[in-house]
Amino acid sequence: MPGGAGATLQAESIHRLLFIFLLATIFVGGTTYFLIFWNLIKYRRKDDRVPPQFRGQHLIESVCIGTAVAIVLVLFVFSNDVEKFVDLDRPNALVRIRITGFQWSWRFEYLGGGPVITGTPASPPTLVLPIGETVHFEITSADVVHSFFIPEFYFKRMAIPGYTSGFDLNVVHPGVYRGVCGEFCGLDHAYMNFSVSAQSQTAFAAWLARERPARARAP
């Protein structure tokens, strides 16, 4: 199973969901592969006799359709349950950050008079987040479509010009995480990176106090 259990509450639930899907995949894929190989070996042509010329078997077909419907229904229920949590959008959270993607870096604006951090491809910005706290993000783009992607959070959201959407993250583990652009956005797409520094709430509060009043870093 690739990746750890995830660094946010959202990532943990997505990771559990992927595990359920992998189990279903192994069941469906394994059964199908077994039947393909079993038929290939058992019914390989041995002589010139013409095999029985039947055209179907309603019971088998119906049972298979029923099984398939049941499997996807169960998977949808699990998936929708996780999505309801992952898609929570709470604009009244204490920490609110506005993300703006541009060619080819990111701008993070801590709403309510906090700092504004603007990066360049050469000096990628750092997004500082508190752990154990709901952080609300709103995201848009200044030019073309980008995508805010933190692999270890198992999460991405497109930054679309002329359109703002919101999402929440609850970081669980402190640490430094890699962030990239997930949507091709022109020549320097590969270098549109940022890093995420997840800190304890006290460290985050101290950082916020240091950075206030809002001032933009280079350039």
**Interacting residues with other proteins between 22 and 41 (CB under 8 A):** 24-25, 28-29, 32-33, 35-36, 39-40
How far CA 154 is from CA of 37, 143, 206, in Å, comes to 36, 25, 28
- The contacts of residue 128 (CB under 8 Å, 6+ apart) are 196, 197, 199, 204, 207
Provide the token pair at 197.
Answer: 């520094």
- Regarding 144 and contact with other proteins (CB under 8 A), the answer is yes
Distance CA 71, CA 182 (A): 31
> Least Å distance between CB 134 and other proteins?
17
User: Any contact of residue 185 with other proteins (CB under 8 A)?
Assistant: yes
Residue span binding other proteins (CB under 8 A) among the ranges 42-50, 92-100, 123-131, 199-207: 42-50
Total interface residues for other proteins by CB under 8 A: 78
User: Per rule CB under 8 A, is residue 174 in the interface with other proteins?
Assistant: no
Backbone angle region of 154, left / alpha / beta, with phi > 0 → left and psi within -120 to 50 → alpha: left
The residue from 5, 23, 69, 216 that contacts other proteins (CB under 8 A) is 69
Listing from the earlier edge strand, what are the strands of the sheet with 155-159?
126-130, 194-199, 175-181, 146-150, 155-159
184 binds other proteins (CB under 8 A): yes
Q: Shortest CA distance to 167 belongs to which of 16, 9, 6, 4?
A: 9
Residue 96 vs 189, nearer CB to other proteins: 189
- Which is closer to other proteins, CB of 114 or CB of 182? 182
Residues 96-125 that bind other proteins (CB under 8 A): none
Please pick, from the candidates 143, 173, 195, 207, the single residue that binds other proteins as defined by CB under 8 A.
143
User: What is the Cα–Cα distance from 196 to 188, expressed in whole angstroms?
Assistant: 20
Q: Residue 205, interface with other proteins (CB under 8 A)? A: no
